[in-house]
Amino acid sequence: MKSAFSLAAVLLWSASAAALAADVKPAAKVDTARGSQIASQVCVACHAADGNSPAAANPKLAGQHPEYLAKQLANFKENKARKNAVMLGFAGALTPEDMANVAAHYAAQKPKEGAARNAATLKLGEKIYRGGVADKGIAACAGCHGPAGAGIPAQYPRLAGQWGEYTKAQLMAFRTGERQNDPQGMMRGVAAKLSDKEIDAVSDYIAGLKQSN
């Protein structure tokens, strides 16, 4: 049973990775100096100039894959699959070139480590992240985001050290369908099967993941 579940997880990962790869366009030349300027003028209040957001409600952007960041900005600007009134205001003023530049700037920043805060749920969070939940058909998070939360460039975001509160909010948004910019509905399918306790546990565990830079 376990081997069958593992095979299903691999097939699901392969299909979603292929779909994502098909959407990735060749990277254009970026201007990180321009990206830094945009970050210091537009993004700094919520995400900090170096992308290490001081507020748990706002995601850490430092070290995130630039293709992923640019895609999120484009999705916010489109205001369909991912909606946020604040981000719509900022992203709406950016050109595709601006998005690529600011994404490259944040990708080049060094992320600060985070920490799990609830020792009581660490084992459950680790189990979900590394092994999934077989009886619910949930594959391991590590299958797409890597054992240390590094993610896969242009496909799956880096998670290591991300604020637990932010990760939880995104899982809840995927569960309700408020956020719909996951390829083939993969994250919506996962989040729909997770209980509140499981979301709390895996979000907190992710916050404590360490990745060498």
State pLDDT tens for residues 77-136. 999 999 999 999 999 999 999 999 999 999 999 999 999 999 999 999 999 999 999 999
Using the predicted structure, report yes or no on whether residue 19 has a pLDDT greater than 50: no
Q: Classify domain 2-19+113-207 at the CATH topology level.
A: Cytochrome Bc1 Complex; Chain D, domain 2 (1.10.760)
- Residue type (1 letter), 83: K
**What is the overall mean pLDDT for the chain?**
90
Q: What is the pLDDT of residues 36-53, one digit of tens each?
A: 999 999 999 999 999 999
Going from N- to C-terminal start, the domains of the chain cover: 2-19+113-207, 32-107
Domains 2-19+113-207 and 32-107 share a fold: yes
Give the separation between CA 181 and CA 23, rounded to whole angstroms.
13
Closest CA to 204 of 171, 172, 168, 176: 168
Asked whether the beta carbons of 68 and 61 are under 8 A apart, the reply is no
Q: What is the pLDDT of residues 156-165, one digit of tens each?
A: 999 999 999 9
Q: What is the pLDDT of residues 26-39, one digit of tens each?
A: 456 999 999 999 99
Q: How confident is the model at residue 155 (pLDDT cuts 50, 70, 90)?
A: confident
Does domain 32-107 fall under CATH 1.10.287.130? My reply is no
**For the whole model, what pTM was predicted?**
0.88
Average pLDDT over residues 192-207: 98
Give the separation between CA 155 and CA 32, rounded to whole angstroms.
22
